[in-house]
Amino acid sequence: MTAVQMWIGHVGTGVLAVVLAGVLARRRYRIWYSFAVFLAITLASALMIMAWPGRFYTHEFWRAKETAFSVLRFATALELAYRVFRSFPGATATLRWTMLFVLIATLGAVIAASTGSTDYRAFLAEMQPRVLYGSIWLFTAIAALILWYRLPVDPFQKAVLLSYVPFLLIFTVTVNAMGSRISERFGDTMRYLYQVAYLVVIVCWALAAWRRAEAPARPPEMRPPSLRPRIGEPLSA
């Protein structure tokens, strides 16, 4: 890791702390518990690497961390889908079949890539990209069905959803590159691309987390017309 990459990582960790503080201060965890847990575990792992790089800045820890994050990503997607679609039976039925297809396809791809090898390069090149593709398809399916059925979504959830899908795509590209021969020539470039994309997405989350919730506009109060005629007005027949 170069000095520039290290400082970008420190800035990202600081911004991530701002995101989590905003989620807690604005009580946005109430609308997405698993995402708050995801933020907390992400911040904790980043702090562990920052404080004890010799122990935690390793291939083994990265692999364990990304495996846990993969589970949390699917959990955040499932909770988001439940919260948004639960009041709409028709949309829920479509979502249920769509998510089932994505989960089965992802599981099949992971099983096909599983060779029993614990090699870091094999995990980076084969296993992790397939799990990330599953996460991308799951979040994309949720976003597409929300737009198709025009479902109401909390602004914070919407901001996270729309920013996270492009980031996951960039993350998948960089993981694929790092697991191939491209990393021999463009490894540092791929790391910079990932770090910049990560920094952009968490800045978007920080802005969304600290944004004040706007009170919904109340319709004007409608008073029933008086049955008594006004003075000077003729009585109707």
Domain ranges of the chain: 3-210
pLDDT class for 199, splitting at 50, 70, 90?
Answer: very high
Q: What is the pLDDT of residues 112-142, one digit of tens each?
A: 877 666 666 767 767 788 888 999 999 999 9
Of 132, 144, 139, the C-alpha closest to 170 is 132
DSSP 116: S
Q: Is 106 helix (H, G, I), strand (E, B) or coil?
A: helix
Q: What is the pTM of this model?
A: 0.82
**Measured distance CA(123)–CA(100) in Å, rounded:** 25
Q: What is the pLDDT of residue 217?
A: 42
Token digits of residue 98: 């769509």
What integer is the mean pLDDT of 187-194? 80
Q: Is 87 helix (H, G, I), strand (E, B) or coil?
A: coil
Element (H, E) at 4: helix 3-25
**Measured distance CA(8)–CA(10) in Å, rounded:** 5
Q: What is the pLDDT of residue 176?
A: 76
**Measured distance CA(203)–CA(11) in Å, rounded:** 10
pLDDT at 216 over 50: no
